[in-house]
A and B are shown apart, each in its own frame.
Chain A
Amino acid sequence: MAMTWRASQSRLSATPGQVMLALGIALFLALFLIWPTATVIWVAFTEKGSSTFTLVNFLDFVRTDLFVRSFWNSFYVSAMAVVCASVLALPLAYITSRFTFRGAVLIQTLGFLPLIMPPFVGAVAMQLFFGRNGSINLLLDDWLGFKIAFMDGLNGVIFVQAIHYFPFILINLSAGLRNIDSAMEEAAQNLGASGFRLFRRIVFPLAMPGYVAGASLVFVKVFDDLATPLLLNVKDMLAPQAYLRVTSIGITDPMGYVISVVLIVASVAAIALSALATRGTDYATVQRGGGGLARRELRPWESVLAYAVVTLILLLVLAPHAGLLLLSFATIWSFSPLPDSYTVAHYARIFGESSLYIKNTLVYASLAGLIDVVIGTAIAYLVLRTRLIGRTALDWAASAALAIPGIVLGIGYLRAFYGVQLWDGTPLATLWIVIVLALAIRRLPYALRSCYAALQQISVSLEEAAENLGATKARTVRRIVVPLMTGGILAGFVTSFATAAVELSATLMLVQSNSDAPLSYGLYVFMQSAAGRGPGAALGVIAVLLVAACTILSHIIIERGRAAAESRH
């Protein structure tokens, strides 16, 4: 199979259209990612006082205990978070994709929610629930006389990150499982494989691109995330160190940018490694007739077990959201397992202004998601289906966006676009479309990985067949490739959309007026005062509901598409 793949690749050499596409994407990335970032982080390569090129700052990095310690801490936490996230995601993905399971769509949606943790208020809710004096620990202490340090130190970071980011694995693995041809499974069954052996030897290996896409995202995201470590007051990790240094006023120190460069290099390396891990093997299956894996009925005892596992995992991962909901109705919640009493006043307070925030959020996040899947699909196609020189550079550049701290991108955008004036003198950077572009760039890696995994699973022979029948390349892409990738593209859109909806760090730099502000900005404004906690939580709940509704909608669309495809056969 690998032989035919190599051979067919050389046959699919680049057309002028593909070259144009590649150049267009390169231009987009150069303009909105590389240039703005470079304007900020070039400081890392300059000598103090003279602005000449030097690498001495990187020498300082390896000579400073704090940074070296931070690097290894980040590495350890990211690796462990991938392990824990896999433990949470595998059962959910397996049970909901392989068996006829009532409420599969609901579970897929709920399992997706942890990704949407609104900034600040999510942290407060989490502390009130799992913290040192949170609900669980207060009850444990009361009844059993001990506490569990869920949120202490590096283990706390691993715990919270695993809960927060396991949906990356869930959503990509589920998409991967759905893309496997049932003929493969049937063949294995005919040869005598069944049960766990069938899963281990046939199903999971075929879904590998999905898993790797998710796992690499979790690794890189945890490596680059600063919100969670800061919420837990863990400062000796790389991303918080970079953030603290970049944002300290009055101090002009290159180390923050040096760390940013290290983050970017480490992230690209991780993505490249994951690409390497899946490169030698062909994951594509040809026949799409069956429309994915056959779903098996569960035996009664299996059913009980499955429901127990699913319920347990969902209870754990949704606890922060339960906390958030309680907080939004709470009058006062302080050092007690539950709030003192309940009120709807917080919702009343935000009622007037939230509609504007909601509209802006929907517009920004869906535009960003749209840009992401278009570019993501295009890059995946160029990398996997053409032999253009420098195609992997596109992949890496786009993936590097994951590692660029939002604040660096925000400052970069101001630097790059504030000087550019429109016809009436308004700076380009003050237009809301700039926020959309920043969000799109920041969330592009999510969509890209999903699209990449989806395309990896499609056999190139289908396209060859179409071309042999006289279809042009463009028509083949439109009629064969994109429809077959739908699941992956939608998965990518949903992840980009949902996470863009709660993005804050770049947004905070770029929002120019209240009328342009998205939900996360409104939330930030509320969460700076004691009285704003309730209304902030209420806004957070609205953000979560909004994204959840959109997720359910896209799941329904996927399911409809599947059903329609099946009925055609």
Chain B
Amino acid sequence: MSHRRFGLLLAFSVLFAIPPAYAQAPTGKVTVVTSYSKDVTDPIKKAFEAATPGVTLEVQNRNTNAGVKYLDETKANNQVDLFWASAPDAFEVLKAKNLLEHYTPKATGIPEKIGQFPINDPKGYYFGFAASGYGIMWNERYVKAKKLPEPKEWGDLATAPYYDHVSMATPSRSGTTHLTLEAILQGEGWDKGWGTIKAMAGNFRTVTERSFGVPEAVNSGEVGYGVVIDFFAFSAQASGFPVKFVYPTVTTIVPANVAIVAHAPNKTAAESFIEFLLSPTGQEVLFAPGIRRLPVNPAVYAKAPPDYPNPFKDPRLNGMVKFDVEKSEVRNGVVDALFDQIVSFQLDSLKASTKAIHETEAALAKKDNAQARALLKQARELINAMPVNEATASAKETTGAFTGSKQKGARQAELEQQWAAFAKEHCAQAKAKAEEALKLAR
């Protein structure tokens, strides 16, 4: 309130009062909009303010979506200096709306890529300060009580024992989940990739609408397994929850980012915050138990706690195929909407057909039947069928429906209804086939 305005006034007066030679030294208040929790922001704020005397970091917590909307709505009279969040797609949206400021960090020792993913935005609008890998987290008590296996690979989650025990965030709400899906689609190809995703999704208990909903449910023991980003599991372990985590052999590494907002009121201080995050001191803060992100400067791993994963050396974190950022960006909205229409909002029918397939497989394992196998194969193909192929998904007519393009064309709701109807129909047919096969196998 008045406090704040006084602070601004003070900042301005200081800026104008001192000789120009010193005007570059950062002072005053720097405002950051972030999706990070207190556990992350508090230690970094403390370290930053200690390293940069005279600057205070004002943290505004908003979830990523709300943060993007906020910057968009307030751009006419922007009061925010920095945007700080994980999901690269949020930064892409901001960049496309010209809401970010170009900057070239001075920090040294940071390589161009982590895994296969470029650390910084190639055009220089946002910068990776940490990385995280995707993996599987599970609740030990839950798994023990229900006598369930411990997973190692993504494929494990698609097998029968995991039915109704797994949870994941929807990619339309979690930028990092989106990247994982996109990595599967690029690695395995459009059709096979969706097959893998749907086989796994058939075992889902829930598809949550926020990233933290998954570790929260695993921590409570509401679900057994969760597809999560590593630090959710590490920080849960650090707080004492009975959870375990594994990186599958092929996983994605995704950077967490920071950017200067266009027309930032305190640009000098904003730059100093980015430089701090990328400096060795700032990178080392990431080792704190409540943060547990992977630094992007390979040198600081020398000071890492024992058993800390190192994405620059660990082969599991480098196994990912080359990631085509451009391809991912073009079809971003389409992939998210597809997932929601054929998985999130069709979960009941998808699960029903998956269950029928699991049961038939169990029966076939006891007594084989060639005709039943053939039917089961058809059932799988029915589930795997996609309402759109890869070319159509990236075509302008399709993507235009999701990005509010000025051209006339199909509306999002129209396409979504088509996809949902397609998925529902195919799941019902698959279930019928699997049940027919079950009768033969018995």
Contacts and interface: CB of A to CB of B under 8 A. Distances in A.
A557 B153 CA distance: 63
A327 to B, nearest CB: 10
B73 A331 contact: no
A533 B232 CA distance: 13
A147 interface: no
Interface stretch (A60-68, A96-104, A305-313, A441-449): A60-68
B173 A529 contact: no
Contact of B402 (A251, A333, A511): A251
Given A418-B73, A418-B74, A513 B4 contact: yes
B417 A526 contact: no
Interface in B336-373: 336-337, 341, 344-345
Contacts, number: 212
A339 B412 CA distance: 47
Contacts of A63: 413-414, 417
B222 A131 contact: yes
Interface string A123-137: 010011001111000
Interface stretch (A197-205, A421-429, A542-550): A421-429
Contact of A131 (B31, B70, B220, B337): B220
- What's the interface size class on A, roughly? 35 or more
A450 to B, nearest CB: 32
Contacts of B38: 525-526, 528-529, 532
Given A49-B409, A131-B220, A514 B74 contact: no
A524 B34 CA distance: 13
Given A128-B220, A235-B344, A419 B37 contact: no
A252 interface: yes
Contact of B403 (A250, A331, A531): A250
A432 interface: yes
A247 B66 contact: yes
B376 interface: no
Interface in B134-180: 139, 141-142, 145, 172-173, 175
Nearest to A40: B73
B427 interface: no
Contacts of A391: none
Interface string B402-418: 11111111011110110
Contact of B66 (A61, A509, A513): A509
A530 interface: yes
B222 A133 contact: yes
A132 B344 CA distance: 20
B242 A60 contact: no
B351 to A, nearest CB: 12
B60 interface: yes
Contacts of A512: 4, 60, 79
Interface in A403-454: 407, 411, 414-415, 418-419, 421, 424-427, 429-432
Nearest to A233: B206
A71 interface: no
B76 interface: yes
Interface in B1-29: 1, 3-5, 8-9
Contact of B413 (A57, A124, A128, A250): A57
B139 A335 contact: yes
Interface in A511-540: 511-516, 521, 524-533
A424 B8 CA distance: 10
Nearest to A428: B77
A521 B61 contact: yes
A508 interface: yes
Contacts of B395: none
B208 interface: yes
Given A230-B209, A250-B332, A251-B402, A133 B236 contact: no
B238 interface: yes
B417 A248 contact: no
A4 interface: no
Give the most central of A49, A425, A429: most B CB within 10 Å: A49
* Secondary structure type dominating chain B contacts: helix
Contacts of B36: 528
Contacts of B333: 250-251
Contacts of A61: 413
Interface stretch (B211-219, B266-274, B300-308): B211-219
Nearest to B144: A335
Contacts of A334: 139, 141, 219-221, 241-242
B64 interface: yes
B353 to A, nearest CB: 18
Contact of B232 (A50, A252, A419, A530): A530
Nearest to B418: A64
A529 B220 contact: no
Interface string B186-213: 0000000000000000000011110010
Given A49-B406, A65-B417, A531-B39, A508 B62 contact: yes
Nearest to A248: B172
Interface in A2-19: none
Contact of A60 (B93, B232, B414): B414
A335 B73 contact: no
A533 B39 CA distance: 11
A364 B37 CA distance: 24
B141 A335 contact: yes
A528 B212 contact: yes
A469 interface: no
Contacts of B172: 244, 248, 251
Nearest to A413: B73
Most B CB contacts (10 A, CB to CB) among A230, A250, A333 go to: A250
Contacts of B79: 426-427, 430, 512
Which of A244, A411, A516 is most buried by chain B, counting CB atoms within 10 A of its CB? A244
B59 interface: yes
A255 interface: yes
A235 B206 CA distance: 10
Given A252-B403, A525-B37, A235 B242 contact: no
B221 A133 contact: yes
A542 to B, nearest CB: 16
B5 A415 contact: no
Going nearest first, the 6 A-B pairs with the smallest beta carbon separation are A335-B221, A252-B404, A528-B37, A529-B37, A60-B413, A414-B73
Interface of B: 1, 3-5, 8-9, 31, 35-40, 58-66, 68-70, 73-74, 76-77, 79, 87, 89-90, 92-93, 139, 141-142, 145, 172-173, 175, 206-209, 212, 215-217, 219-222, 232, 235-236, 238-242, 290, 332-333, 336-337, 341, 344-345, 401-409, 411-414, 416-417, 420-421, 424
5 contacts: A131-B220, A249-B65, A253-B412, A532-B39, A533-B239
Given A65-B417, A527-B212, 6 more contacts: A66-B417, A133-B220, A249-B93, A250-B333, A334-B139, A419-B77
